[in-house]
Chain A
Amino acid sequence: MRKMLALLLVSILLPVLAYADTLTVSTDKATYARGEVMKITAVYKNSSGTPITSPSTREVRIKNPSDTELVQTSMANAGSGVYTYNYTLSTSAPTGTWEVRGKFVYNSTETKTYTYPKVATSTADTTTPVTTASPAAGTYTAAQNVTLTRNETGTTYYTTNGTAPTTSSTVYSAPINIAATTTLKYFSRDTAGNSEAVKTGVYTINTVAKTHDAANASLTWTGYGTCLTCHRTSATEMYQGVHYQWMGSGAKMTTGPAKQGKMDSLDGASALNAYCINVLGGWKACGACHAGTGAKPVATTTPDDAQLASIDCLMCHKNGTIATPYARTRNATTGLFEPNVGVDMNNVVRTVIKPVRNTCLGCHAKAGGGDAVKRGDIALASGTTADANYDVHMATSRGNLTCQACHKFTNHKVAGRGSDLRPLDSTTAVTCSSTTCHPTKNSLTSGHTTTDVNHHIGRVACQTCHLPTYAKNANDTTATEATETNRTWEAYEWNATLLRNEPLPTKANDITPKYAFWNGTSWGNNLTDAAVIDPTTGFYKISRPNGAITDAAGTKLYPFKYKTAQQPLDTTTGKLIGLSTASFFADGNYVTAINTGLANMGRTGDAWKTVTTDELQVLNHQIPPASGNVLPCAACHKNTARINLPAIGYAIKAPLTTICNQCHGVETYLDYKWVHDYHVTGKRYDCSFCHNFSRATERGLSTTK
């Protein structure tokens, strides 16, 4: 009987048991503090795990540890079989184990389940507070009131003397006034006793007036990095410029890589010239004119402080009029430059100025190894002379212009590039005629003395007519300002100051320029390039201005210094050899210097021979006053002594009979001027009728009869 009843009970209950719903009830925390919110969640599913979303009863009951029922209510339906209820514990809620019961009914089936959260007097707080300073640490030009803000209840401690704060330190209660450079250290501790790590903020207060003034006693010399405090941007600009890198954009070169310049390298970027040939092996000798403190510049787009501090700003910005002007000499141990003993460097930095002529000329007039050696149209005299016939723009009695009056600087990049120089520092053009200077001299139809002269503007550079001779001798200097016209390394002369043998120069004054068309781009032979003979001169060309009479408008006839040199050529590779100047200086031994140079180039043992090289260097300076000095027409026309116009493209394109028969047969005429006045000025016929070039577009001439 009993067995039958048990079986009956199992048979009744088994389906129920087999198909029982599941209910779980949980709280978000195991232990609560008084006053906290107890979040209760119930999950109700059927036996197959499907959420039960519409029970007929979804009740929660809460009892405190005293078994007192505090809550009996329905839970909120959160969907998907989830039900929620939040209960806020009172601030006097009894501690101990509480009972939370969920009772759900679905299809008349009731399911109950329990959970037992605890309530304690407090929960363990292990989170450290976070304190924030405002304004943040940094450099300011005025005193700052620093506020320390905590993210939770507690106490903030701080020091301003650089020591680590403790709970015995000053308690923060109000903004901290920081009027001088200060190291602020602080931390907070919450009510649970959690302390955050000490934080440090350095507030640099630089209230020094930014003007460079001799009376500004707060501005002091702290080494070559002094300028970075206020002029970091300028330093970064300068760092990337040609003056510092000795390399730059090769955008105006039709030969060589994208970056080229004076700095030595063996990748084709390093320029050659007919003076010292190449910097390879001679950095220390040449680097005395570098705008740095002696170390070779490092090419990087992100220079660090040490690299920026290698710029010697004072090379350009020194004031030569103060009692002890900035001068520098090599440190005997490091070889790097340092201020001369006895120079008041505080006064130097207080009195810096924008460069004056003498500053620029201190290096640029001595290019090639001596005063006036290289450029031909500038010398140390250009900085001091009053002789207007020497240079009307620079003479102290006339223009007295700074270099940057024409060579505009933008972000420490200078406008202007000599035709023989490889890198382009700035794309800003240097022009003789602008709104501020010679504004009327840029017209094809007006501005100059005659119509014919006006016509020349389009294709003849200003200095072609205005610079009859270069390498002039200023009348108020003891030096001659003679420029080097040739240099041979096969012979030498002794330099007692430098205790070395130097190649033998030939110098001259009052030289007539050579003339050539230049479109603004240049051809250059760099170290490791194959040498190229110019069939016109028969010499190996080092640099040439690109341009021809048939080039587009903008190409003009310019005056150039013509320079030659005798130097070695590697006959195996056909390349000019960067001979070792260091070796040559020691003993004047040409052969040894060549062999060392070959080794430096990785060409030990190659055969070589001495060749003549040449280069053209555009002339822009030493312009005398126009009156009495500008070239007359006869200097170039019907006179090949100065310039052979027919040879450079101005010859007529056919015999005269052929030319004239285009229209009317050969006729008698007064002179070339009459021919041009009649046909071009009068009839507006284009040059191409008679010559192998056209000016139709730029001068509005007709190419048809």
Chain B
Amino acid sequence: MTSFSTTRIILAVVFLLTVFSNTMVYAAEPSATFTVEIADVGKSKEFKELVTLLEAKGIKTVIPPANIRIVDEQNNCAVWIGKNVPLTALQTVLPEAIRLYPYLKYFYIVGERGEVPPEAFTRTIHIGGSIEAALYKKLNVIDRQEFLKTLAAAKTVAELHKYLLEKNKALKTAPFAEGN
């Protein structure tokens, strides 16, 4: 092989590496098209810390308007996960949220029980959903450590969805009967 050919090959490799590495970097980062909503449940220190942390990672954070169902962190202990939120986003956001809000215990893919949210909500992680909704939908409490392990080990978002679907299979003795 001539030195010119070698050079070409080397240049080509460098070129390809440059192109694809950017792509990989881009793919490794959470999608900029999803949103994190954090209900202000009155824990100002942790709330500010989470917002700051996420925004530092370039994640768009929204504080939903106050309403009578945003009470405190024990009543707002659910995480609603939009079905189009990328896995990497979940792997970035949820460990921090769970660390700062230790009462989070319901993790749910929105739509699994038939609710039809706005399209934007399918790309939203909502931290601080109401326990009223969780019980209404007959969700199950999921052990946080188990969830974090599963989240960390998941290779695809479908894998995580499947795990949550399985964990949230309605109990026969769920406390809230539909319509009751």
Say if A and B assemble together.
yes
Residues of A within 8 A of B (CB): 281-285, 288, 327, 329-336, 340-341, 366, 369-371, 479, 494-501, 580, 582-583, 585-589, 596, 600
Interface pair B118/A330, CB less than 8 Å apart: no
Interface pair A370/B68, CB less than 8 Å apart: yes
CB-defined contacts of B136 to chain A, threshold 8 Å: 284-285, 582, 585
Interface pair B105/A284, CB less than 8 Å apart: no
Which of B7-15, B22-30, B92-100, B107-115 makes up part of the contact surface? B107-115
Taking the nearest CB of chain B, how far is it from the CB of A678, in angstroms?
56
Interface pair A329/B68, CB less than 8 Å apart: no
Given contacts A284-B135, A335-B135, A498-B133, contact A582 B117 (CB under 8 A): no
Interface pair B115/A501, CB less than 8 Å apart: yes
- Residue contacts A-B, CB under 8 angstroms, 11 given: A283-B180, A327-B74, A336-B175, A366-B68, A371-B68, A495-B69, A497-B129, A498-B129, A585-B115, A586-B115, A596-B179
Interface pair A499/B180, CB less than 8 Å apart: no
* A285 and B69 alpha carbons, distance in the complex (Å): 11
- Whether B39 is near chain A, meaning CB under 8 Å from some CB there, is yes
CB-defined contacts of B37 to chain A, threshold 8 Å: 496
* A560 and B5 alpha carbons, distance in the complex (Å): 90
Q: Mark B146-180, 1 if CB is under 8 A from A, else 0.
A: 00000000000000000000000000000110111
Interface pair B131/A330, CB less than 8 Å apart: yes
Interface pair A499/B133, CB less than 8 Å apart: yes
CB-defined contacts of B126 to chain A, threshold 8 Å: 496-497, 499
CB-defined contacts of B178 to chain A, threshold 8 Å: 582
B105 is contacted by which of A288, A332, A596 (Cβ under 8 Å)?
A: A332
* A497 and B126 alpha carbons, distance in the complex (Å): 8
CB-defined contacts of B54 to chain A, threshold 8 Å: none
* A23 and B115 alpha carbons, distance in the complex (Å): 104
CB-defined contacts of A334 to chain B, threshold 8 Å: 175
CB-defined contacts of B141 to chain A, threshold 8 Å: 332
Taking the nearest CB of chain B, how far is it from the CB of A342, in angstroms?
8
- Whether B67 is near chain A, meaning CB under 8 Å from some CB there, is yes
* A520 and B74 alpha carbons, distance in the complex (Å): 43
Closest to A288 in B: B132
* A100 and B72 alpha carbons, distance in the complex (Å): 97
A496 is contacted by which of B68, B121, B135 (Cβ under 8 Å)?
A: B121
Closest to B128 in A: A497
B179 is contacted by which of A281, A499, A500 (Cβ under 8 Å)?
A: A281
CB-defined contacts of B108 to chain A, threshold 8 Å: 499
Q: Tell me which residues from 78 to 92 in chain B have a Cβ below 8 Å from any Cβ of chain A.
A: 78, 80
Interface pair A499/B129, CB less than 8 Å apart: yes
Closest to A341 in B: B74
- Most-contacted residue by chain B among A281, A336, A498, A589 (CB, 10 A): A498
* A496 and B78 alpha carbons, distance in the complex (Å): 11
CB-defined contacts of B180 to chain A, threshold 8 Å: 281, 283-284
- Whether B51 is near chain A, meaning CB under 8 Å from some CB there, is no
Q: How many residues of B contact A (CB 8 A)?
A: 45
Taking the nearest CB of chain A, how far is it from the CB of B97, in angstroms?
15
Taking the nearest CB of chain B, how far is it from the CB of A384, in angstroms?
14
Taking the nearest CB of chain A, how far is it from the CB of B108, in angstroms?
8
Q: Mark B117-142, 1 if CB is under 8 A from A, else 0.
A: 11001001010111111111100010
Taking the nearest CB of chain A, how far is it from the CB of B103, in angstroms?
8
- Whether B61 is near chain A, meaning CB under 8 Å from some CB there, is no
CB-defined contacts of A283 to chain B, threshold 8 Å: 180
- Whether B116 is near chain A, meaning CB under 8 Å from some CB there, is yes
Taking the nearest CB of chain A, how far is it from the CB of B74, in angstroms?
5
Interface pair A500/B72, CB less than 8 Å apart: no
* A475 and B170 alpha carbons, distance in the complex (Å): 47
* A282 and B179 alpha carbons, distance in the complex (Å): 6
**CB < 8 Å A-B pair total:** 112
A332 is contacted by which of B71, B121, B135 (Cβ under 8 Å)?
A: B135
CB-defined contacts of A340 to chain B, threshold 8 Å: 72, 74-75
Closest to B110 in A: A499
Closest to B141 in A: A332
B72 is contacted by which of A327, A369, A586 (Cβ under 8 Å)?
A: A327
* A366 and B68 alpha carbons, distance in the complex (Å): 7
Taking the nearest CB of chain A, how far is it from the CB of B41, in angstroms?
10
CB-defined contacts of A588 to chain B, threshold 8 Å: 116
CB-defined contacts of A479 to chain B, threshold 8 Å: 66
CB-defined contacts of B58 to chain A, threshold 8 Å: none
4 closest residue pairs by CB, A with B: A335-B175, A281-B179, A582-B179, A497-B69
Taking the nearest CB of chain B, how far is it from the CB of A83, in angstroms?
83
* A285 and B133 alpha carbons, distance in the complex (Å): 9
Taking the nearest CB of chain B, how far is it from the CB of A235, in angstroms?
25
Interface pair A327/B175, CB less than 8 Å apart: no
Closest to B39 in A: A497
CB-defined contacts of A596 to chain B, threshold 8 Å: 179
CB-defined contacts of A341 to chain B, threshold 8 Å: 74, 103
* A585 and B134 alpha carbons, distance in the complex (Å): 13
Interface pair B117/A370, CB less than 8 Å apart: no
CB-defined contacts of B133 to chain A, threshold 8 Å: 497-500
* A496 and B40 alpha carbons, distance in the complex (Å): 13
Interface pair B116/A501, CB less than 8 Å apart: yes
| Given A499-B78, A499-B130, A589-B116, 7 further pairs, Cβ under 8 A | A281-B179, A336-B175, A496-B129, A497-B69, A497-B126, A497-B133, A583-B179
Interface pair B74/A497, CB less than 8 Å apart: no
CB-defined contacts of A369 to chain B, threshold 8 Å: 68
CB-defined contacts of A330 to chain B, threshold 8 Å: 75, 131-132, 135, 175
CB-defined contacts of A496 to chain B, threshold 8 Å: 37, 64, 80, 121, 124, 126, 129
* A646 and B130 alpha carbons, distance in the complex (Å): 52
* A283 and B175 alpha carbons, distance in the complex (Å): 13
Interface pair A327/B121, CB less than 8 Å apart: no
Interface pair A499/B117, CB less than 8 Å apart: yes
Interface pair B129/A333, CB less than 8 Å apart: no
Interface pair A497/B131, CB less than 8 Å apart: no
CB-defined contacts of B131 to chain A, threshold 8 Å: 329-330, 332
CB-defined contacts of A501 to chain B, threshold 8 Å: 115-116
Taking the nearest CB of chain B, how far is it from the CB of A590, in angstroms?
13
CB-defined contacts of B117 to chain A, threshold 8 Å: 494, 499
B175 is contacted by which of A282, A331, A587 (Cβ under 8 Å)?
A: A331
CB-defined contacts of B74 to chain A, threshold 8 Å: 327, 329, 340-341
Interface pair B105/A335, CB less than 8 Å apart: no
Taking the nearest CB of chain A, how far is it from the CB of B125, in angstroms?
11
Interface pair A284/B75, CB less than 8 Å apart: no
Taking the nearest CB of chain B, how far is it from the CB of A565, in angstroms?
20
Taking the nearest CB of chain B, how far is it from the CB of A161, in angstroms?
41
- Most-contacted residue by chain B among A333, A494, A499 (CB, 10 A): A499
Taking the nearest CB of chain A, how far is it from the CB of B76, in angstroms?
7
Closest to A499 in B: B133
* A580 and B136 alpha carbons, distance in the complex (Å): 14
Closest to B73 in A: A340
Taking the nearest CB of chain B, how far is it from the CB of A282, in angstroms?
8
CB-defined contacts of B124 to chain A, threshold 8 Å: 496
Taking the nearest CB of chain A, how far is it from the CB of B109, in angstroms?
11
A495 is contacted by which of B67, B77, B78, B103 (Cβ under 8 Å)?
A: B67
Closest to A281 in B: B179
- Most-contacted residue by chain A among B116, B121, B179 (CB, 10 A): B179
* A341 and B77 alpha carbons, distance in the complex (Å): 13
Interface pair B179/A497, CB less than 8 Å apart: no
Interface pair B176/A586, CB less than 8 Å apart: no
CB-defined contacts of A494 to chain B, threshold 8 Å: 117-118, 121
Closest to B75 in A: A329
Closest to A581 in B: B179
CB-defined contacts of B128 to chain A, threshold 8 Å: 497
* A501 and B133 alpha carbons, distance in the complex (Å): 12
Given contacts A281-B179, A335-B135, A596-B179, contact A497 B130 (CB under 8 A): yes
